[in-house]
Amino acid sequence: MELPESTPRRRARPLRCITRCLVVIGIVAAATCAAASDWGMGAANSRLAPPDMFNPVSTPAYDIETLAWFAIAVCAGIALVVGALLAYSIIRFRSRAGDEEREPPQVYGSNPIEFAWTVVPLLIVFVLILTTARTIYTVEAAIAPPNAIRIRVIGHQWWWEVRYPGLKIVTANEIHVPVSDPAHPTPTFLDLESADVAHSFWVPRLAGKTDVIPNRRNTMWIEPRRPGVYLGQCAEFCGTEHALMLLRVVVEPRAQWDQWVAAQQKTAAASSDRGRRIFESTACVNCHTIKGTVADGRFGPDLTHFMSRETIGSGAAMNTHDNLRIWIKDPAVIKPGALMPRMNLSDADIDAVAGYLESLH
Amino acid sequence: MEQEIALSAREQAELPLLGRLHEWVVTVDHKRLGLMYIGGGLLFFVVAGLQAVMMRLQLAVPDNHLVPPQVFNRFLTMHGTAMVFLVGMPILTGYFNYLVPLMVGARDLAFPRLNSFGFWLWFFGALLLYFSYIGGDGLYGAGSAPDVGWFAYAPLTERAFSRGNSTDYWILSIFLTSVGSTATAVNIITTAFCMRCRGMTLGKMPVVVWLAVVVAFMMLLALPPLSAAQVMLLLDRFAGAHFFDTQAGGSALLWQHFFWIFGHPEVYILVIPVFGFASEIIPVFSRKVIFGYQVMVAASIAIAFISMGVWAHHMFAVGMTPAGNAFFATSTMLVAVPTGIKIFNWIGTIWGGKIRLRVPMLFSLAFLFQFMIAGLTGIMLAVAPFDWQLTDTYFVVAHFHYVLIGAIVFMIFAASYYWFPKATGRMLNERLGQVHFWLFLIGFHLTFDPLHFAGIHGMPRRIYTYQPGRGLEGLNLIASIGAVIQALAVLVFVINVVYSLAWGEEAGPDPWDAWTLEWSTASPPPEYNFAVEPEVYSRRPLWDLKHPDDPDWLYE
Amino acid sequence: MATAAVSPIVPPVHAQWNLPRRGRAGILALILTETAFFSIFVAAYVFYIGKSLSPPYPRDVLSPPIVNTICLLSSSITIVLAVRALRAGHTRVFGLWWLVTFMLGLEFLAGTAAEWYGLIYHDHLTISTNLFGTTFYSLVGLHAMHVTIGLIMILVVMLLTAGGHLSRRYAEHTEMLSWYWHFVDAVWVVVFTTVYVIGR
């Protein structure tokens, strides 16, 4: 009599727990969402494809994807076979009521069987090792052709410095590269260095990640085949704002990229407005560079062509007037822990500095 | 004599609380120290688990402001460090402490006082880690805990980037707990080699003891690299040395090598003990002898050896040469072979048996499925180019939680349900155990299955927030719900332990009809374990007793 | 099913049951783990050979401590003679060899101290000067620390001997101590080769 009564009660308990959890999480989520602002990033991200490694657009990422599907297929096959075997033996050999007394026959082992399930995995592993080694060599041993674009990327706490040594361009957080035409491949080779701690450079649709390690220069390459904006971010824990050390790579048709290069090579228009004077007379110049002015700091991003970038704070916020004002007033509102201090400028001064920065195309 | 000691045990129970506490503090008895390890480990399991729940709540929705970044980074560091050094290690060494002497028919470990010394080193080392919340900032601030991640990559841990003393607490805590574990390792090896009862040759030791020996050797070889690296880091921070100081020519990669020379064997130090538990529990609940005893032991030794040579698979993205990457990919995949052998042998044990689906067996069967999946995602990670995409993402987080929770925590729960009657004399409640199992199973899969896909969708690990519009919202929300369900399941377990200690069913010496020596003595065992030193003829002495017409030693 | 009261099958008889001594297994395990500890410091030393950014460099300031090395290595012989004497029951001979071992060890420490004094005050090399200083002082210092621990234990045994508390019964214990001492000596051979031969 007791059993049928208690069984449904026991079944109901986990369900009730789950619903309660849902309610609790819903409340927490609602409470925190209300306070949150995404600084326009949600809408901007939604316009781009997510950084999904199984949607590659560049050569090393294609190679990796092919190998990855092969590895997944092998592993899924093993999972199905072994899982089915396990499930079958659990169901088949459950002890039945009334048969508990007698012990089953004791089997101590079997050498032929042990041999079989040692050799078969060895063969599978052997195949996997060969295919893995082949892809390792194709990706890592690639040599830069003479027409390759060369870029130096320097990781900082928590932004990316981007230098084009041959072109004398310095920018930050948004890397522009030309699309590579399969008939005339123009891959881009990146030298990765760090100014402080270890970071990792990762744009999933273009290539696997490569760590950015102080006192060491790592090299990686991409060969994007389709124009577009590709999201990436720092993948090695590097301190407080590791989460907002974002990165985007803008892949453009060659002609458009050439235009971008020409624009970046210009010095900023010499203006003499109040914003520039405030900028030059405060600590801003210790960390930022604006070519053609006294500002030549290297601790923060180069602002010479500030308006050519879509985001500020290394992808933390869209580069809009309102966000820029908030950022200048107190970066910690958008990116708590960011190393840029608040400058304690008056509202009028903030407007002037924002106006000046917005003139830097 | 037996009566006399029994009387003194009762006298002990009548002591006032303070007196009883004193008895526990000064004890050198392997069973008490084992229980103290396990109890301490479970305590930190709850604390570090709650920190994980807080992190999951923060990540439930994008751009969440529940927890500030610094606090989140402390949570992730403390959670990782605590779960490895304050939860996994002590619980498993606690089980070995408790079981090894009983299983080899000895009255205590080889060096009981060294054992007690090791425990208290671990205990105060563990306290030191959490004391950093109060002492981390010295006398100047509100206090803080380490926020450098559990593998604390240099040079983030150098003075220039980690001010205050929080990182020093982290260093000292890990150093002390490691020395404590080394003491246990010395003890286990000596006990297994020098204290076995009459007739128990090395080939007749229970699988748990064999694996305890393997793990102890791994501890002796793998913990020193970590301790040495911690000493170097401490010299950097206090004496101005330059081991990992990149500005003075030091190498950031050297730390990574030293850490992972420890770190990868550490994974096996945590997982091989639960292989032992599985090799004990699955046969008993299948009513069959373990399939391929020698092969099981040999496979574990092979895993131990290979695991010493795979560390750089954590470093595929640091820019090693193609040859280096290919070597470590190869050695890592080779681990799959002995690991596969173990899974097949467990299936071989189940095959043809009569499976009793009690709670320990439920956890063990879930372990088999989850460990298989964890192994297969491990193979994907060993495919170095695939790893360039997957490393440092939530795929890795999901993979190693499949090992650490799906395999290790599940088997720790199985072992708890299995040996609780031996240690306390009372059974854990079966019905609460079933609720615990199913809740934990559901919560575990809700949390960690989606996180594999979050990693593939470009979510790096250790981020305190993520932006909307990148396809991560749904996966993270499900994972957070799962985390809360797991926490509820653990609550059910705690309730079960408290309830069963007071009102649980009397267990008797051998409630599971099992075969190893610990079930031949009373539950809980007397301080001297065995009134008469046992003598054995096979790997299953109690089977021989129960089946005198068909003893094991005829076939081994 | 068929649980007969008397077993028809008689188990084999264990004629002898000898297991290794606990102390030996324990000390070997300790030596194993210490070996792993030292190898990491040696690895760090080798890794940083020639990578210092500023002087002084090893070639300019290091000279091989030959006398020290001879003293330390010969102390391994004297400790064996001491233990052998104790096993034979000659407590007095034991005390003598034991004292010689202690003095040889002490000489080694004094020699190291003199070397360090010269390096610090004459060559201005400290642990924070460069990578050479960092790795040199930590590796040689770690070894010297082990010598110190060994000497303290030897001293304790010496005091017990002087108080007449030592007898043949403790030969096994002193032998275990001598194993540790051999280990410290063996480590010195590695340190010497690394620092004064390869590293120079």
pLDDT at A13 over 90: no
pLDDT at A2 over 50: no
Does residue B152 sit in helix, strand or coil? Answer: coil
Per-residue model confidence (pLDDT) at position C17: 86
Higher pLDDT, A101 or B488: B488
Distance CA B304, CA B218 (A): 7
Per-residue model confidence (pLDDT) at position B272: 96
Contact residues, chain C, for B255 at CB < 8 Å:
none
Note whether B432 contacts A: Cβ–Cβ < 8 A: no
Neighbours of chain B (3+ CB pairs under 8 A): A, C
pLDDT at C86 over 50: yes
Per-residue model confidence (pLDDT) at position B252: 95
| pTM of the predicted protein model | 0.93
C36/B225 CB distance under 8 A: yes
Residue B140: pLDDT band with limits 50, 70, 90: low
Q: How many CB atoms lie within 10 A of CB C22?
A: 17
Put simply, the chain B residues between 223 and 252 with a CB less than 8 A from any chain A CB are 246-247, 249-252
Put simply, the chain C residues between 106 and 145 with a CB less than 8 A from any chain B CB are 126-128, 130-131, 133-135, 137-138
Question: Which of A46, A93, A204 has the CB atom closest to B389's CB atom?
Answer: A204
- Which among B493, B510, B509 has a CA at the least distance from the CA of B501? B493
If you average pLDDT over residues B433-445, what whole number do you get? Answer: 97
Rg of chain A (C-alpha set): 29
pLDDT at B392 over 90: yes
If you average pLDDT over residues B387-406, what whole number do you get? Answer: 96
Listed in sequence order, the residues at least 6 apart from A250 whose beta carbon sits closer than 8 Å to its beta carbon are A174, A175, A176, A177, A229
Output the average pLDDT for chain C: 92
Per-residue model confidence (pLDDT) at position B165: 87
First and final C-alpha spacing in chain C:
77
Distance CA B542, CA C109 (A): 57
pLDDT at A336 over 80: yes
- Which among B100, B31, B29 has a CA at the least distance from the CA of B516? B100
pLDDT at A12 over 70: no
Q: How many CB atoms lie within 10 A of CB B555?
A: 12
Per-residue model confidence (pLDDT) at position A159: 96
Fold adopted by C23-198: Four Helix Bundle (Hemerythrin (Met), subunit A) (1.20.120)
Q: Domain residues for B360?
A: 2-554
First and final C-alpha spacing in chain B:
37
Q: Which amino acid appears at position B66 of this protein?
A: L
Which tokens is B544 given?
């021989």
Contact residues, chain B, for C12 at CB < 8 Å:
537, 553
Per-residue model confidence (pLDDT) at position A34: 47
Per-residue model confidence (pLDDT) at position A11: 46
Does residue B314 sit in helix, strand or coil? Answer: helix
pLDDT at B141 over 60: no
Contact residues, chain A, for B203 at CB < 8 Å:
none
Distance CA B195, CA B243 (A): 43
* Distance of residue C79 Cα from the nearest chain B Cα, in angstroms: 25
Structural domain count, chain B: 1
Per-residue model confidence (pLDDT) at position A37: 80
Per-residue model confidence (pLDDT) at position A24: 64
CATH of the domain at B431: 1.20.210.10
User: At CA A262, angle to CA A256 and CA A268, rounded to 5?
Assistant: 130
Contact residues, chain C, for B185 at CB < 8 Å:
29, 33
Note whether B350 contacts A: Cβ–Cβ < 8 A: yes
Neighbours of chain A (3+ CB pairs under 8 A): B
B479: closest chain A residue by CA: A25
- Which among A143, A139, A148 has a CA at the least distance from the CA of A66? A139
Per-residue model confidence (pLDDT) at position B12: 61
A198/B153 CB distance under 8 A: yes
Higher pLDDT, A9 or C84: C84
pLDDT tens digits for range A251-306: 999 999 999 999 999 887 667 689 999 999 999 999 999 988 889 999 999 999 99
Per-residue model confidence (pLDDT) at position B17: 83
Distance CA B274, CA B289 (A): 18
Output the average pLDDT for chain B: 93
B232/C44 CB distance under 8 A: yes
Question: Which of B61, B154, B393 has the CB atom closest to A29's CB atom?
Answer: B61
Q: How many CB atoms lie within 10 A of CB A141?
A: 10
Residue pair A179/A307 in contact (Cβ under 8 Å)? The answer is no
User: At CA B374, angle to CA B452 and CA B419, rounded to 5?
Assistant: 125
Give the helix ranges, DSSP H, for C48-90: 58-61, 66-87
- Which among B70, B45, B67 has a CA at the least distance from the CA of B56? B67
Is cis: bond before A221, omega within 30 of 0? no
- Which among A199, A235, A232, A234 has a CA at the least distance from the CA of A216? A199
Q: What is the length of chain C?
A: 200
Residue A123: pLDDT band with limits 50, 70, 90: very high
Contact residues, chain B, for C44 at CB < 8 Å:
228, 232, 243, 254, 258
A337/B57 CB distance under 8 A: no
B198: closest chain C residue by CA: C17
Put simply, the chain B residues between 465 and 494 with a CB less than 8 A from any chain A CB are 465-472, 477, 480-481, 484-485, 488
**What is the 8-class DSSP label of residue C129?**
T
Least confident of B491-505, C14-28, C67-81, C135-149: C14-28
- Which among B475, B73, B465, B458 has a CA at the least distance from the CA of A38? B465
Residue with tokens 């407080």: A240
Q: How many CB atoms lie within 10 A of CB C92?
A: 8
